[in-house]
A and B are shown apart, each in its own frame.
Chain A
Amino acid sequence: MIKNISNLGDAALYCDFGTEVNKEINRNVINYFNNLRDSNFLGITNITPSYNKLVISFDLKLTSFAKLKKQVENLELKKNNNSKNNLIKIPVCCVEEFALDIKRLQKLLKINEAKIYETFFSKNYYCYMTGFIAGMPFLGDMDKSLFAKRLETPRVKVPKNSIGITEQFCNIYTFESPGGWNIIGKTPVDIFDNKKNNEPNLINPGDTISFYPISKLEYEKKYE
């Protein structure tokens, strides 16, 4: 399942699951991630799943590359360790002031606004990974008709809670941040809540997300 394990510096393992981006490979990555979280191998400080890689950082005072590599290679995977993976519904308000790039997308994709949203809301999305900024989920796959390039010049500030799309992926900006994804709406739900003490992030790698449209009024109500 892991094609190759190499060292990333002297305090991390770089587990390579392949080069493509697809759910099958990513489910493998996340299965390893979940199993490793339960393993309690000495010295692990962080496990970072991404599309097709898994990086395991460790404390060099407590273990070493060779030791941990052996443990990972001999890890007995519990099958279908997907109990932690949920279906989460995210409301999105698509009024013009939130859908910063919808006009650009209509031109770029040669599809009208209504059809863009209909297509977008009709699918479930899979969370490949979270990160870059705290809690930001990378979701896929978009319908092919909505594949769009990033903005040529990224925005200096994408508003917090904006929904962005690019190529086969969509994401949610959990903080105001620079970014180049095409913004099509905004959710009133905080995806990353730094007031919550145990699970600040709503969406975890492996979760399934569905979006549904709400009006401006509903958006404002949710915010109260």
Chain B
Amino acid sequence: MKKNTNKNYFEVLRPGINSTFQDYGRNNFYHIGIPFSGAMDNRNFLLANTISNNEINNPVLEFAYQGPKLKYIGENISINVTGDVNFKIIRKNKNLEFSCYENIILENNDCLDILSTNRSVYGYLSIGGKFEVDYYLNSCSTNTKAKIGANNGEKLEKGQIIHLKNIKKILPKNKIEYLNSKIENIRIIKGPHFDHFSKDAIDSFFSDEFNVTKLSDRMGIRLKGPKISNIKNTNIKSEGLVKGVIQITADGDPIIMLSDHGTIGGYPKIGVVISADYDKLVQIPPGSKIKFKEINLKDAETIFKLYQMETQTLISHIK
């Protein structure tokens, strides 16, 4: 919360709903209860850093729904916003409109107002340089539950100063045309407790729609729909979880574990979302409907290769 000691900084005029610094995530600490965290939408995180010509694991500012309003003080700097985001720059009382996925030059006294993510959840702000953030266990990713990572493990707060360093020369006008496609069918692989559920329950799990409820955040997505009744036991001995695991609670509702999930859990796991669909899954806002589709491991691996190729193609189109 120090006041202007650095030359280049953002002042947070409005923090937004859930704005945190993130990088790729924190490996190898599940066994002591620390989740992976990291940017929820990995592809948009990669694109943000690539457009900024940064190392791929450079910290970005992630926001959800309503983003922050930031006043910039300092020398000219390149920035870009990724996701499906509505934002503007206020320069000398004029509103300037820009698109996502392009480098924009921010000038002294400009105000960057990230208004909203459109029919999606997360967006990213990257700068040609580095946010000055603390690292913990090899990552700056903020985990607000364990209070670790950048910003003392907290969300952005009103009035705080974000210092910047290693400001790069103004970058060329890197840009890509990319539309974040929406997804309705989430592809999953059967989980280890598939046989805890009746045939009818399994049938309705795959044929009915589920509503994404408001009780969804970086830890998980809670769904409401047909009750998935358990014919064995609604509890299991607690065991390890991973991103994308779908647990069925004792009430019969599915919860999908996301990047900040508790590392162990005691509800039966009906399935796991395939890696290739994870970025799209996290972008589904509350109020949407989703359906699950079962595929096998081999197909999931093939689809992941395609997802990777698609990401590489996008990256190669930048510039």
Contact = CB atoms under 8 A, between A and B. Distances in A.
Contacts of A201: 32-33
Interface stretch (B23-31, B109-117, B210-218): B23-31
A164 interface: no
Interface residues of A, number: 47
Interface in B280-302: 297, 300-301
Interface stretch (B99-107, B163-171, B199-207, B263-271): B263-271
Interface stretch (B50-58, B80-88, B178-186, B232-240): B232-240
Given A51-B237, A61-B308, A194-B136, A6 B192 contact: yes
Contacts of B297: 7, 10, 65
Contacts of A16: 192
Contacts of A9: 188-189, 191, 242, 244-245, 271-275, 300
Interface stretch (B7-15, B141-149, B221-229): B141-149
A10 B304 contact: yes
Contacts of B145: 133-134, 175
Interface stretch (A42-50, A75-83, A97-105, A211-219): A42-50
B48 interface: no
B36 interface: yes
Contact of A48 (B146, B263, B274): B263
A10 B33 contact: no
B17 interface: no
Given A197-B136, A204-B32, A12 B242 contact: yes
B308 A8 contact: no
A60 B33 CA distance: 22
Contacts of A194: 136, 146-148, 153
Contacts of B237: 19, 21, 50-53
B239 A55 contact: yes
Interface in A1-37: 6-12, 14, 16, 19, 21, 33
A131 B148 contact: no
A131 B245 contact: no
Given A14-B192, A45-B36, A50-B239, A8 B263 contact: no
A132 B238 contact: yes
Contacts, number: 146
A200 interface: yes
A138 interface: yes
Given A6-B192, A8-B269, A57 B30 contact: yes
B137 interface: yes
Contact of A55 (B29, B240, B271): B240
B30 A47 contact: yes
Nearest to B238: A50
B123 interface: no
Contacts of B143: 134
B192 A45 contact: no
Instruction: Give me the 9 closest cross-chain CB pairs, A-B, nearest first.
Output: A9-B272, A55-B240, A48-B240, A131-B33, A134-B146, A46-B30, A131-B263, A10-B300, A50-B239
Interface of A: 6-12, 14, 16, 19, 21, 33, 44-55, 57, 60-61, 64-65, 129-136, 138, 174-175, 192, 194, 197, 200-201, 204-205
Interface of B: 27-34, 36, 136-137, 143, 145-148, 153, 188-189, 191-192, 237-242, 244-245, 262-265, 269, 271-275, 297, 300-301, 304, 308
14 contacts: A8-B191, A16-B192, A46-B29, A46-B31, A47-B30, A51-B237, A57-B242, A60-B304, A130-B33, A131-B264, A132-B263, A133-B145, A133-B146, A134-B34
